[in-house]
Amino acid sequence: MALQLIISAFPEGGMIPRLHTCDGADLSPSLEWSDSPAPTQSFALIMDDPDAPAGTWNHWLLYDLSPSVHALAQGYKPGSLGKSGKNDFGRLGYGGPCPPRGHGAHRYYFKLYALDTASLGLPEGAGRAALDKALRGHILAEAHYLGRYERK
């Protein structure tokens, strides 16, 4: 079996509920994953928007999650599990979809990585470039889940 990521708040490719956006409570959705490879030592998660006007926008960076963790509760708060990177809103943790009005639906990719190392050696608050570099050569498996959101 391949690594699988499930987000119960919306179907794969479906619309992300307002609760999980800047127009709502801006709470992260709950995530669950399964079928990680046996040698997995940690997990990392990236949520981004490749449709942002200025280029890919990073909404959530999370790394050094224990291999025993297979779910994140709705409303995840930085510091409760693993390490949080700094998103493009300039803060740690989750920043929900918030595309410009009138730009149509944006795509939001949740990318989960099973890694062969317990620690990527990054401090809390690392940015996307540092995380991408640290991931190189350590990915055993990955799973993606797509959601969409449009501000009216």
At 32-65, the pLDDT tens digits run 999 999 999 999 999 999 999 989 999 999 999 9
Q: What is the dihedral of CA 3, 86, 149, 101, to 10 degrees?
A: -160
Residue 103 is predicted with a pLDDT of: 87
Residue 121 is predicted with a pLDDT of: 97
Name, in order, each residue with C-beta under 8 angstroms of 9's C-beta and a sequence gap of 6 or more. Answer: 16, 17, 19, 20, 29, 30, 74
Q: Compute φ and ψ for 131, nearest 5 degrees.
A: -65, -45
Residue 152 is predicted with a pLDDT of: 82
* Residue numbers of the chain with a pLDDT score lower than 70: 1
Which residue from 83, 82, 75, 79 is spatially nearest to 125, judged by alpha carbons? 83
Q: How far is CA 23 from CA 16, 100, 120, in A?
A: 11, 11, 34
**Domains present along the chain, CATH in parentheses:** 4-149 (3.90.280.10)
